[in-house]
Structure 1
Amino acid sequence: MRIETNHERGDPITVGFVLIPGFPLMSYAAAVEPLRAANTLSGRDLYRWWHAAPGDRAVQASNGVAILPDVAVGAADLPADRILVCAGGNPASFEDPALARWLRRLARAGVTLGGISGGPYILARAGLLDGRRCTLHWEHIPAFQESFPRAEVVRSLFEIAGDRVTCSGGIAALDLMLTLIGQDHGPGLAAGVGDWFLHREIREGLSPQRMAPQQRFGVRDPRLLRVLSAMEENLEAPLPRAALAGLARVSVRQLERLFRERLGTSLHRHYLAVRLDQARRLRRESTLSAAEIAAATGFSHADELARAQRRRRSRAAG
């Protein structure tokens, strides 16, 4: 299989979008629209793009919007410089051997392959991220690491690692594409495209995906912030209350009071909620067994996790 690169022919750079059913429309739009804007602002066709989808049928985004593919999975002799796989929902449950074979053939032909949001799952399942530095949406990371330990996962907005490009999704796809446009055609055009979309600053790839705890929880107390961060970093082996109090440099009683005054909940209940949220993500995004999910979130066995989940639902209902 020979892929003709546009650089060889002096043609526009061609980007292929492989859309997986349930793909996030925002991530896809943030990736394709900068290409259109670059063409408009430059007055030239700097980029072209095409779409492919499993089954070669119309593919629906997570919100129901459908896009018709114009390239068949497995197609040969097509122009391609970069191919970006866009996936969302539960990419851990998606498997398509024909698509995996096609992606491997494209990689061997020298095409740059990328994944957006849950798209790296598809690349990893095809064996294309082994030993590679990559990122994906924070919601998918825990299950991804369990399934693909040979991939080097970082919690960044996007990663450009040679012929592999990965992106956490959402608006980060815009930052990725602006960076690529800057590499292809200079920072002036990239800035112009960013300005077109009212995106005043192109964020670096290594920028963190999530808001800091200070922003997410609306607290400024450095003692609480240290504890909140430690909780999120220690789920498999939850830290005891005394250790958390030590991080805050206060007594356990004082820490409990801080949680109730600033967060409106107890220390134990907040930590439990963080672990249960993680368990829910793993159940939705992975094929791990109930026992494995329990172990990964600090529960001694699956029954203990199930009881905690039932109590939470009961409190919410009451």
Structure 2
Amino acid sequence: MANNQVSTRTVGFLLVPGFALMSYAAAVEPLRAANLISGRELYRWWHAAPGGKPVMASNGVAIIPDCGTSTERGADMVFVCAGGNPALFEDKSTFAWLRRLARKGVTIGGISGGPYILAKAGLLDERRATLHWEHLPAFREAFPGVEVVPSLFEIDGNRITCSGGISALDMMVALIERDHGRQLAASVGDWFLHTHIREGFGPQRMDLRYRLGIADEKLVAVLRAMEKNLETPLSRAALARSAGISLRQLERLFKSHIGHGIHSHYRWLRLERARQLLRETTLPVLDVALDTGFVSSSQFARAYTRAFGEPPSRTRLHG
């Protein structure tokens, strides 16, 4: 239901170096459109950056902020926009600033990798949250006290998290609808040629059939099972049984559609997950190995070095 009394809401954006420009633009542009379409200043916004210095997006575009994280500017909501590897962000003054805002009753949000920074500031404990799928495995390991869901966006009271990309547009349309009603929200979506506004609980990733260009339903079912069982890999025979076909048939499907065998593909999925954990967590290498289905750190190190041309310790060092 729209609010009867219209007042201007102020939104702050904390831009962390390496933030995703698309995610930020998809969050701020709907506010501009809401003002333009309604003919009123429903929203105003400002930008902050650590140290108050120009901040560069992941694509090299720099934005000059209005202030640093010592600002006392007022806001109804503040969104942290981050990308790259948010696990490496360690600015204690920024964490303290975010906690001060939360104590004042400001709604705190995170977009793309931004929820990682909120969690590091202790602002997502016992909360439901989402973030970009790339960061989900490491985030779950690092913050077991956060209820992580692989949705487009989550609104849990005065904490709002968003997986990033164009889902920030879906999130902002939902917030505009909450503030000013469905008609304005629909008009904002239409303004950006966004003909289908997605609910927050929608999936982040494209269905495997489209992502990999595979139409065979049995093979797709097996690939889904693989992605869901990386810590305790299923045997090739179990995968074939789950698809209702013989192991030989399944091997042929992999060679035909994937280009290599079942074992090679499964190992690659597990090693990709391991690389994410090495980059974005401080888990010991042995824990990373066990979490991705390897029985020892030495077995893991050999497979990892063959796949990526460097040992796990070097990936961890370069984070």
Shorter chain as normaliser: what TM range? over 0.9
SS of 2:25's equivalent in the other structure is helix
Name 1:145's counterpart in structure 2.
Answer: 140
2-structure distance, mates of 1:264, 1:289: 33
Q: Is the 8 A contact 2:19 2:82 kept in 1?
A: yes
1-structure distance, mates of 2:112, 2:238: 35
2-structure distance, mates of 1:30, 1:245: 42
- Aligned-pair identity in percent equals 62
Equivalent position amino acid for 2:70 in 1: G
Name 2:230's counterpart in structure 1.
Answer: 235
Q: Is the 8 A contact 1:52 1:73 kept in 2?
A: yes
Name 2:314's counterpart in structure 1.
Answer: none
| Compared CA separation, residues 131 and 194, structure 1 to 2 (3 A) | same
Name 1:96's counterpart in structure 2.
Answer: 91
2-structure distance, mates of 1:218, 1:33: 33
TM-score between both structures, scaled by the size of structure 2: 0.92
CA-to-partner distance for each residue in 1:43-93, whole Å, 9 max, x for gaps? Answer: 1111100011111111111111111121331322x2210000011111111
Q: Is the 8 A contact 2:18 2:58 kept in 1?
A: yes
Name 2:58's counterpart in structure 1.
Answer: 62
Q: Is the 8 A contact 2:111 2:168 kept in 1?
A: yes
Q: C-alpha displacement at 1:301, in angstroms?
A: 2.4
Q: List gaps (5 residues or longer) in structure 2.
A: 310-319
SS of 1:206's equivalent in the other structure is coil
Which of residues 37, 41, 52 in structure 2 aligns to 1:45?
Answer: 41
1-structure distance, mates of 2:269, 2:206: 16
Equivalent position amino acid for 1:56 in 2: G
Name 2:32's counterpart in structure 1.
Answer: 36
Q: Does 1:117 align with 2:109?
A: no
Q: C-alpha displacement at 1:10, in angstroms?
A: 6.1
What are the residue-to-residue correspondences of 1:67-216 with 2, within 5 Å? 67-76=63-72, 78-216=73-211
Equivalent position amino acid for 2:120 in 1: R
Q: C-alpha displacement at 1:240, in angstroms?
A: 0.9
Q: Is the 8 A contact 2:79 2:110 kept in 1?
A: yes
2-structure distance, mates of 1:20, 1:254: 49
2-structure distance, mates of 1:267, 1:239: 11
**Residue correspondences, number:** 306
SS of 1:18's equivalent in the other structure is strand
CA RMSD of aligned residues (A): 1.5
TM-score between both structures, scaled by the size of structure 1: 0.92
1-structure distance, mates of 2:54, 2:90: 18
Name 1:306's counterpart in structure 2.
Answer: 301
CA-to-partner distance for each residue in 1:19-45, whole Å, 9 max, x for gaps? Answer: 111111110010011111111111111
Q: List gaps (5 residues or longer) in structure 1.
A: 1-6
SS of 2:17's equivalent in the other structure is coil
Which of residues 276, 282, 290 in structure 2 aligns to 1:281?
Answer: 276
1-structure distance, mates of 2:154, 2:256: 40
SS of 2:215's equivalent in the other structure is coil
Q: Is the 8 A contact 1:93 1:287 kept in 2?
A: no
Q: C-alpha displacement at 1:313, in angstroms?
A: 4.6
Equivalent position amino acid for 1:29 in 2: A
